[in-house]
């Protein structure tokens, strides 16, 4: 019963649409502006740096707090991994947004930081490195999330956490499916081109 309640709570926590709430303070709706993604990057574009930062902190916090909650109530590793995945699923399929949402990267990052701070920071650095080398946001994101369970396995993490990493990767692929189609069709903008386009607006 405790496991079920915490997993459900984690899903509800993940469902809190900070990237919809904060720009709403300025009368902005990210669902119909910018990239139309309910995520911190789009909040930055649509509502400015302050709202973007608040949305990012909120989205990271959802993953972090869900893992902390599971640890606080001494769930086994399987329960902690399930709570983390529930938070990411909540972000992607928010009950408050009719089961629509963002793409889960920040929430996944928050969960990883709560599981192991050093590992989470290394994953962040790897993501930044991939973006510098590849110059595209979406492929860099998917590539890093694909590496996360591999790095967990290499670092001898428990199988339950490796399964979380793999599950988060699958959720990210699904959430980015349209972006990936655009990339493989040669229509995706580089990070530099995307920034120039939004700064021009």
94 bridge partner residues: 100
Give per-residue pLDDT as tens, 91-146.
999 999 999 988 999 999 999 999 999 999 999 999 999 989 988 888 999 999 99
CA angle 48, 53, 55 (to 5 degrees): 95
State how far the Cα of 147 lies from the Cα of 169, in Å rounded to an integer.
9
In this structure, what token pair is assigned to residue 120? 């989470």
Nearest alpha-carbon partner for 94 in 2, 175, 181: 175
Can you tell me the distance from the alpha carbon of 95 to that of 105, in angstroms, rounded to the nearest whole number?
Answer: 18
Is pLDDT above 90 for 183?
Answer: no
**How many other CB atoms sit within 10 Å of the CB of residue 100?**
13
- The whole-number pLDDT of residue 46 equals 78
Q: What residues does each domain of the chain span? A: 2-200
* pLDDT surpasses 90 at 190: no
Can you read off the two tokens belonging to residue 149?
A: 């369970």
Between 138 and 201, the more confident residue is 138
What six digits make up the tokens of 165?
């990493």
Average pLDDT, the chain: 90
Q: How many residues does the chain have?
A: 201
Which pLDDT does position 201 carry in this prediction?
54
Q: What is the pLDDT of residues 10-32, one digit of tens each?
A: 999 999 999 988 888 888 888 88
E strand or H helix that includes residue 100: none
Rounded Cα distance, 76 and 42, in Å: 36
Instruction: Please determine, for residue 149, whether its predicted confidence score (pLDDT) is greater than 70.
Output: yes
3-state secondary structure labels for all residues of 103-165: CCHHHHHHHHHHHCHHHHHHHHHHHHHHHHHHCCHHHHHHHHHHHHHHHHHHCCCCHHHHHHH
């Amino acid at each position: 019963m405790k496991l079920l309640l915490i997993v459900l709570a984690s899903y509800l926590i993940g469902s809190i649409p900070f990237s919809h709430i904060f720009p709403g303070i300025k009368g902005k709706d990210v669902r119909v502006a910018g990239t139309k993604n309910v995520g911190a990057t789009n909040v930055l574009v649509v509502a400015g740096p302050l709202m973007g930062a608040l949305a990012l902190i909120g989205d990271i916090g959802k993953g972090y707090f869900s893992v902390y909650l599971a640890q606080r109530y001494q769930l086994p590793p399987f329960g902690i991994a399930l709570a983390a995945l529930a938070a990411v699923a909540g972000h992607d399929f928010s009950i408050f947004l009719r089961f629509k949402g963002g793409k889960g990267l920040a929430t996944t990052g928050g969960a990883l930081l709560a599981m192991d701070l050093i590992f989470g920071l290394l994953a962040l650095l790897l993501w930044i490195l991939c973006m510098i080398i590849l110059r595209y946001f979406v492929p860099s994101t998917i590539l890093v999330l694909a590496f996360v369970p591999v790095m967990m396995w290499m670092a001898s993490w428990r199988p339950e956490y490796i399964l979380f990493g793999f599950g988060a990767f699958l959720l990210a692929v699904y959430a980015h499916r349209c972006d990936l189609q655009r990339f493989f069709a040669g229509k995706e903008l580089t990070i530099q081109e995307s920034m120039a386009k939004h700064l021009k607006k």
